[in-house]
Structure 1
Amino acid sequence: MAGNSKRKGAIRKPGTKKGAVTGSGGQRSKGLEGKGPTPRAEMRPGHPKQRRAIAKSKARHQSAKQREKKAQQPELIAGRNPVAEALRADVPAEALYVAIGIDADDRVKEAVRIAADKGISILEIPRDELDRKTRNAVHQGLGLQVPPFDYAEPDELLRAARESGDPPMLVALDGVTDPRNLGAVIRSAAAFGAHGVLLPQRRSAGVTAVTWRTSAGTAAQLPIAVATNLTRQLKAFASEGLMIVGLDADGDTDIDGLELATEPLVVVLGSEGRGLSRLVRETCDSAVSIPMAHGVESLNASVAAGVLLAEVARKRRAAGRV
């Protein structure tokens, strides 16, 4: 056996070799048994891929906690017109910040008067402090602090629509991540008779101060809900008798031929660049497009929403359904 030769210079000194010298006596037979398939790299302790997977999971968890913490913080609506419009629309507010030395025009006077009538705290602060609070937004000396937005449940949208007495019309957004676009869509939805707006939990803008500002306070007039899974919620609405119509560049027809306009309806709008996701597109009963002049590829999501919702409202008026 190797290492046990009696030749001169080849003899091991006692105690210089671990374990049995002349054989194992069968004690190592278990070491020859198979240990099953090799685990994936992400499951092997100490493997670089496992370390990266753990770090990625921690980052996702931390990011989710940061989003939750941010969602719980109050927002500040900035600007004279947005603040005045928000106060007129009964947007829930906690404090009105007025920059010291502001040139008080009619909008400032109106904002202060409405805030005083509603019992909202009015605080005069230095302009640089207002800059900091609004993250250097164009505030024109006015800022309105609003609490975190109180989202409705998806079922509440349908309940509110049915209680209106008109055929339900809901607006769902798929992948609209710009809060300005969201605010403009909410404003169009309110203007053309929608009963509520549905947002997906992931990959979507939320109702922030920017959204409040763009919506001109109409976010307080419509219930806005968040769906954990947009596709599943659309299927749930379909099971309740609503037709699902998506706006898509490759639609089955254009909006002139939208025969479902007078039916109980969910209008689904995608992002400007990506459009509707595949699963959402497959959930739709119909997809429509907006006819445009040659050379124009797409419209901004909020503009497209306004065009489609205006056409739905027109068809409903013509049919005497509103």
Structure 2
Amino acid sequence: MGAGGRASGKPAKKQGATRGTGGKVRRSLEGRGATPPAEARHWYKDKARAERLAREERGGATTRRPAVRPRKSEDAPEYIGGRNPVVEALRAGVPASALYVGQRLDNDDRVKEAIKIAADKGIALLEASREKLDRLCDGAIHQGLALQVPAYEYHHPNDLIGYAQDAAETPLIVALDSVTDPRNLGAIARSATAFGAHGLLIPSRRSAGVSAGAWKTSAGTLATLPVARASNLTQTLQGYRESGLFIIGLDGTSTQDISTTSLATDPLVIVVGSEGKGLSRLVRESCDQTVRIPMSTATESLNAGVAAGIALYEISRLRRQ
């Protein structure tokens, strides 16, 4: 209405229901769920790549977490790679189940001999690509030959004493304390065979086992030398003592030379410790005697394989006297 009560020219607004927002306001107030992690966003790969390139330009080293390899089952077969190791294993009668031969392989005398021995023994001959041989041998050098060896069947610790008694010989056993390198195990097996030991004793944990690396270094002697495994090395050594065997531990800190031991001609167990830490405390306390290998340089140390070989030679020499 105008000031004088007359109607204005504009029509009055119609009163009534107003049009709603269709839920837009309500939806805009609702959450959108959990915030996605950075790696799930579209820009993450580009940003990570840019940061890596920047570090490389500055000379910074990029650290990459090593891939975790699945642990091999103890029941899984082992593979010996390399022409000389395969031939030596076949000559020594290693219980093999298959011989893998590379495609388009140069047949030298070692390859021919390996194929002939495998055929004579009824071992399966299988052709394999280079990629498969690399996979079977875990990337180690195979030279086109790989020998499949079934999982090793360990002996009972008491069996080693029985083998010496069956041979009417004075028992000589080599025990390994925390020797984790299979090449050392193979080298010790070779020396043990050469100097008349009746077997090896290894703990079931924190120790190298009879693997392809051990077979390869032993040059086939593991086919004739029994290896026993103890769930508790200290308790097994105590059991040996109760059976009449003496325990000698190789210890570089000992004041007695191995050449002066009075136990060489008795039933004997020689314990070899790891190269870095030597004998563990409990194993050292289980020994009747600790001896050292005399060397001209006190700071010099021998690895487990060399030390075992020297000790076995010395015991063999004393027994012959």
TM-score (norm 1): 0.76
Q: Contact between 1:252 and 1:286, CA under 8 Å: does it hold in 2?
A: no
Q: How many residues align?
A: 253
User: How far, CA to CA, are the matches of 2:205 and 2:138 in structure 1?
Assistant: 25
- Indicate yes or no: 2:228 matched with 1:257: no
- Indicate yes or no: 2:159 matched with 1:156: yes
- Indicate yes or no: 2:95 matched with 1:112: no
Superposition pairs of residues 82-93 of structure 1, within 5 angstroms: 82-93=85-96
Give the match's secondary structure for 2:200. Answer: strand
Q: CA deviation at 1:128?
A: 2.1
- Indicate yes or no: 2:271 matched with 1:303: no
> What CA deviation, in whole Å up to 9, does each residue of 1:279-310 have, x standing for no partner?
11011000100011125431011000000001
- Indicate yes or no: 2:176 matched with 1:179: no
Q: CA deviation at 1:217?
A: 0.9
Distance 1:155 1:295, change over 3 A: closer
User: How far, CA to CA, are the matches of 2:304 and 2:181 in structure 1?
Assistant: 10
Q: Contact between 1:270 and 1:277, CA under 8 Å: does it hold in 2?
A: yes
More divergent stretch after superposition (142-151 vs 99-108) = 99-108
What runs of 5+ residues in structure 2 fail to find an aligned partner? 1-67
Give the match's secondary structure for 2:239. Answer: helix
Provide runs of 4+ in structure 1 moved above 3 Å: none
**Which one of the candidate residues 81, 84, 90 is aligned to 1:81?**
84
Q: Which amino acid aligns with 1:141?
A: G
- Indicate yes or no: 2:199 matched with 1:188: no
Cross-structure match for 2:142: 139
Cross-structure match for 1:207: 210
**Which one of the candidate residues 306, 316, 320 is aligned to 1:317?**
320
User: How far, CA to CA, are the matches of 2:252 and 2:136 in structure 1?
Assistant: 41
Distance 1:295 1:241, change over 3 A: closer
User: How far, CA to CA, are the matches of 2:318 and 2:107 in structure 1?
Assistant: 45
Give the match's secondary structure for 2:93. Answer: coil
Cross-structure match for 2:288: 285
> What CA deviation, in whole Å up to 9, does each residue of 1:8-49 have, x standing for no partner?
xxxxxxxxxxxxxxxxxxxxxxxxxxxxxxxxxxxxxxxxxx
Q: Which amino acid aligns with 2:132?
A: E
What runs of 5+ residues in structure 1 fail to find an aligned partner? 1-62
Cross-structure match for 1:35: none
Q: CA deviation at 1:252?
A: 4.1
- Indicate yes or no: 2:244 matched with 1:245: no
Q: CA deviation at 1:199?
A: 0.3
User: How far, CA to CA, are the matches of 1:228 and 1:210 in structure 2?
Assistant: 22
> What CA deviation, in whole Å up to 9, does each residue of 1:199-222 have, x standing for no partner?
011110111101100111111111
Give the match's secondary structure for 1:253. Answer: coil
Give the match's secondary structure for 1:262. Answer: coil
Cross-structure match for 2:236: 233
Give the match's secondary structure for 1:71. Answer: coil
Q: CA deviation at 1:161?
A: 1.4
Q: Which amino acid aligns with 2:295?
A: M
- Indicate yes or no: 2:224 matched with 1:218: no
Q: Which entry has the higher C-alpha Rg, 1 or 2?
A: 2
**Which one of the candidate residues 101, 121, 124 is aligned to 2:124?**
121
Q: CA deviation at 1:131?
A: 1.2
* Fraction of identical pairs, as percent: 59
User: How far, CA to CA, are the matches of 1:170 and 1:295 in structure 2?
Assistant: 28
Cross-structure match for 2:275: 272
Q: Which amino acid aligns with 2:160?
A: L
User: How far, CA to CA, are the matches of 1:237 and 1:162 in structure 2?
Assistant: 14
- Indicate yes or no: 2:111 matched with 1:100: no
Q: Contact between 1:157 and 1:225, CA under 8 Å: does it hold in 2?
A: yes
